[in-house]
Amino acid sequence: MYLRNLFIFIFLSLQLVSGISNEEKLYKHLFEHDMNMSGGMDDMFSGNESENSTIPLIDTLYDSRVRPVYDFNNCINTTFSIKINSLEFFKQPEEKIKFNVELDLYWKDEFLTWRPKKFNNVTRINVNPENLWIPDIELYNSGSFPELWTKELKATLDYKGNIFLPIPVLLTFSCNLELENFPFDKQTCSMSFGSWKFSKKYLDIRVINETLLKKRIIDYNGFSHNEWDIVSATGITEDIEYNCCLGSYYPTSTLTIELQRKYTNYTIVIIMTVFLTLSSLNILLLSMEKYRRTFILVFIPLSIIWVQLYISSKIPVIEYSTKMENLLMACYYTCMIAAFYSGIFYCILNNELQILQKLGIKINIEKEYFWKPDNIKLIYNSNNNEIVAKKYLHLRSIFKKMDNIIKTVLFFSFFFSVLGVLI
């Protein structure tokens, strides 16, 4: 029994040593090329892999600064996709957005091939990207330097030279906002990827073929955010000829993400503002002789101003008004008009204004009796024990009619203004 366990231990140890030896041998073959071997050269997605197809390898060290092609005029076909993990921030006043994504690169390295039979049938290994030539792909509309949030990157390399490199990165880029329908708006943000160094002749960077790989160009499954939902995401690649380099085409891939704002929080603000305005209209039902009516009406617009300041801090300075601003301004104007005209009516009817005397409006009130002694006139002076409601009786009746008309006009104007904004 003891000998059997010892034999198993020795056997497993030899297998482990043999595996490590094969891996070291493979790394030496790939990055030093000191072994006279050959490897497959089939395209990554051609589907015509053949282990017997061979090409002689150069007897030299692998240089990660050199494009991995035997013929300098050959083009390296590179495809990519992204997976959106989260939205780090959306600074709307600055029109900047930051995504936490995984950038997946696929390309073929002609120098990194081997025959699995020569290395214990190893067909795939993990390689440190620092040892590899990596396609030059840049985000053209970047708002800051891309941030790698891990240093433990690993590329997957198979025996045909096909490389898959996932890069977890934080991408910040500009996103122009269209805010006419704020807060019921959708925003479209685009990222433009391409190469700074190579034209299409030497490096062809394109989005992946979704049908062939059965994978999305932009994968946002599992995405969740408090304020935004991703409605759709698309990606296309176009060959662009720049004025600086006529005759040379540069593949530019545009990835478009459509975001839908979650407007629940703003809906609560809208409802609160509308009810504040309705309360203002309700206070107008109080008698205009009461000072409390004007006193309360003055403070309601201040609350709406605070709401407006809060909303303005959330969006950039724009030359047009948003749907939310139109609604808030309709509420604000309604409350201000109610407070303004109510204050004017109260001041006119409860103060002895000289301008009213010049217009022939009497301040004192004469009261007639059915019978009184001849040549005797009874006068009640408003300054002596006269209640406010008995000043300017004729003018007061006119103001009451005007008050009812203004209240009715304000109510219907506010109702149709809100209806017009929301629809």
**Distances in Å between the alpha carbon of 319 and those of 64, 176, 179, 306, 310?**
51, 14, 10, 21, 18
Q: What's the pLDDT tens digit per position in 267-295?
A: 888 888 999 999 999 999 888 878 888 88
Residue 9 binned pLDDT confidence (cut-offs 50, 70, 90): low
Per-residue pLDDT at 140? 93
Range from 12-21, 199-208, 304-313, 377-386 that averages highest in pLDDT: 199-208
Per-residue pLDDT at 335? 92
- Whether 195 has a pLDDT exceeding 60, the answer reads yes
Residue 46 binned pLDDT confidence (cut-offs 50, 70, 90): very low
Q: What's the pLDDT tens digit per position in 89-113?
A: 999 988 999 999 999 999 999 999 9
**Mean pLDDT rounded to a whole number for the chain:** 81
Per-residue pLDDT at 58? 46
Pairing of strands 249-261, 155-158: unpaired
Per-residue pLDDT at 422? 79
Q: Which residue has the higher pLDDT, 34 or 65?
A: 65
Q: What's the pLDDT tens digit per position in 198-221?
A: 999 999 999 998 878 788 999 999
Whether residue 183 is preceded by a cis peptide bond, meaning omega within 30 degrees of 0, is yes
Report percent pLDDT > 90 for the chain.
40
pLDDT (mean) for 329-345: 91
Listed in order, the ranges of the chain carrying CATH 2.70.170.10 are: 16-262
CB 69 within 8 A of CB 44: no
CA 281, CA 275: separation in Å to the nearest integer?
A: 10
Residue 241 binned pLDDT confidence (cut-offs 50, 70, 90): confident
Per-residue pLDDT at 278? 92
CA 411, CA 415: separation in Å to the nearest integer?
A: 6
- Whether 171 has a pLDDT exceeding 90, the answer reads yes
As to burial, measured by CB atoms within 10 angstroms (0-12 exposed, 13-18 middle, 19+ buried), residue 294 is buried
Per-residue pLDDT at 165? 95
**Quick one: fold of 16-262?**
Acetylcholine Binding Protein; Chain: A, (2.70.170)
Per-residue pLDDT at 303? 85
**CA 97 from centre of chain:** 6
CB 127 within 8 A of CB 155: yes
Sign of the C-alpha dihedral, residues 347, 353, 357, 359?
A: negative
- Whether 176 has a pLDDT exceeding 80, the answer reads yes
Per-residue pLDDT at 305? 87
Range from 21-35, 166-180, 317-331, 387-401 that averages highest in pLDDT: 166-180
Sign of the C-alpha dihedral, residues 206, 210, 215, 220?
A: positive
Angle between the N-to-C axes of helices 264-283 and 291-312, in degrees from 0 to 180, rounded to the nearest 10: 160
CB 111 within 8 A of CB 58: yes
Q: What's the pLDDT tens digit per position in 83-95?
A: 999 999 999 988 9
The region of weakest confidence among 4-18, 20-34, 136-150 is 4-18
Per-residue pLDDT at 247? 81
Per-residue pLDDT at 44? 35
pLDDT (mean) for 352-361: 64
